Amino acid sequence: MVSVIEFEDRDEALAVLGTRDQYARMLREQFGLKVVPRDTTVHLEGTEAAVGYAERVIEQLRQLARHGPIKPSDVQTVVDLVKGRGDLSAADRTAAVVGPGKSIRPKTDGQARYVKAMQDNDVILCVGPAGTGKTYLAVAFAVNALRQGQIRRIVLCRPLVEAGEKLGYLPGDIAAKVNPYIRPLLDAMDDMMPIEQVRRYLELELIEISPLAFMRGRTINHAAIILDEGQNTTVPQMRMFLTRMGIGSKIIVTGDITQVDLPKDTRSGLADAIQRLKDIERVAIIHLSEKDIVRHQLVQQIVEAYEDAPKGRRGRHG
């Protein structure tokens, strides 16, 4: 089988195939196929399976290249995910077993990178458009870790941008006040466990709901701490949140940096953190794209329609 992949330009070809084609050689060695770079294209020749795997690796590397330089370790990670697991429905791609007969698995290579990042790192920043599974997979990972005794509790957090000063006037205790904003996280949890079990975990404080402002001054040990809608934190808020991590904890921040609801000219704490933390060991930054959308098929088309809109016609939030 022969496949020809065309890059946008020479810069993209160089970024994906590496200086002096070092990454192309890695593909040749890992998949046992012929890889021939030619200007702005690369020719793949081999078995149907080998060519298919190489195409998937190159697609993931193209996505990575859009967000910064690719390192040999990045290439090896993507190769391992594709080569080692092959069929996306294979049992070893399970992200979390959350109940009898219920399992959550990544459905795309990008989601598989995300799951592996959560397994291998202590701080994970995941950005991507709606429907890519950012929040859902984070909750699945946390629930699985809780069930297996790897952590003692799950802390769910979200910036209450829409509520602002009005939070204190909402009826009920703090959990009731925060509930409307944390609902996407609880919806994901309800899909993984019986509602009664979620309520029991909340009562026992195995699952904790906390407004971002209430995190100040705390050190949280042995927990999975999930911050949803992280793009709506300010830089000081993100710094405060990330430094709450104690012994045996993981922090997972999800968000879509094209949908920022902060006041104009206020820098997003998530966008800032991506730049500040990108070279720190055990901090993973995962970018998901439209290709990772797994909701209704129309969601992907809607996202693409907005992405393709002329800049002058877009709203401030993209």
The string of pLDDT tens digits covering residues 132-179 is 989 989 999 998 888 888 999 999 998 876 534 344 555 555 566 666
CA–CA separation, 73 and 58 (whole Å): 14
DSSP 5: E
38-58 pLDDT, tens digit per residue, is 889 999 998 998 899 899 889
- Exposed, middle or buried by CB within 10 Å (0-12, 13-18, 19+), for 137? buried
**Amino acid identity at 169:** Y
> Do residues 135 and 286 touch, judged by C-beta distance below 8 A?
no
Reading the block at residue 241, the tokens are 């949140």
**Residue 157 or residue 87, greater confidence:** 157
Quick one: which H or E segment has residue 241?
Answer: helix 235-242
CA–CA separation, 217 and 273 (whole Å): 20
Which residues partner with 157 through β-bridges? 210, 227
Q: Which residues contact 215 (CB under 8 A, 6 or more apart)?
A: 157, 240, 241, 244
Q: Which residue shows structure tokens 């890519």?
A: 132
Closest alpha carbon to 11 in 57, 58, 51, 69: 69
**Mean pLDDT on 263-271:** 92
Min mean pLDDT across 107-111, 138-142, 164-168, 201-205 is at 164-168
> Do residues 143 and 189 touch, judged by C-beta distance below 8 A?
yes
Q: CA 116 from chain center: how many Å? A: 10
**Mean pLDDT on 60-83:** 84
Q: What is the pLDDT of residue 252?
A: 97
